[in-house]
Amino acid sequence: MNKIIEIVQDLDTNKVYQELSHPSSGGICVFVGSVREFTNNEQVMALEFETYETMALKEMDKLADTALEKWKLNKVVIKHAVGKKEVQDAVVIVGASSAHRSECFEACRFLIDTLKETVPIWKKELFKNKSVWVSAHP
């Protein structure tokens, strides 16, 4: 299996090296998105993620296929967490491995940038006195 696509409650960042490791790969590139404490100087208590899971998995699968067509990759990982996440928790992992580094670097950037645009997952920022759905309003 050259791709791993998952939506999980808690992300285990320790697994990703094994998952991307491949005898033909000389480079492994991983991006991990995590909960940041401040948004525009306002303190974030937590983020809450929800998803339309069947569609999100389909869209993530399409992303992986596009990357596998576009670059010569041996493995691709796309995982996203849902539920309430605290500051410093990992919320998304994308990664790719390839013979040389440039392919996996480019693929990784494509995976996270496109995930943010197309995959039906929604993030709510929980502040002390309010909560806001990110990007909902212009």
Partner 1 sequence: MHKLGQMDLLFFGIAKDIVGTSQLDMFFGEDSPNSVAELKQALKKRYPEFSKLTSLAIAVNSEYASDDVQLKANDEVAIIPPVSGG
Site for partner 1, rule CB under 8 A: 33, 49-52, 54-56, 58, 80, 91-92, 112, 115-124, 133-138
Q: Minimal distance in Å, beta carbon 90 to partner 1?
A: 11
Q: 51 or 106: whose CB is closer to partner 1?
A: 51
Place of tokens 């929980």: 126
Amino acid type, 82: V
| Minimum CB–partner distance for residue 74 and partner 1 (Å) | 24
8 Å CB contact between 131 and 125: yes
Beta pairing partners, 97: 28, 75
Q: By C-beta, is 21 or 127 nearer to partner 1?
A: 127
Beta 3-8 vs 75-81: how paired, if at all? parallel
CB of 132 to partner 1, least distance (A): 9
Between residues 101 and 124, which has the closer beta carbon with respect to partner 1? Answer: 124
Distances (CA, A) of 95 to 16, 63, 128: 8, 12, 34
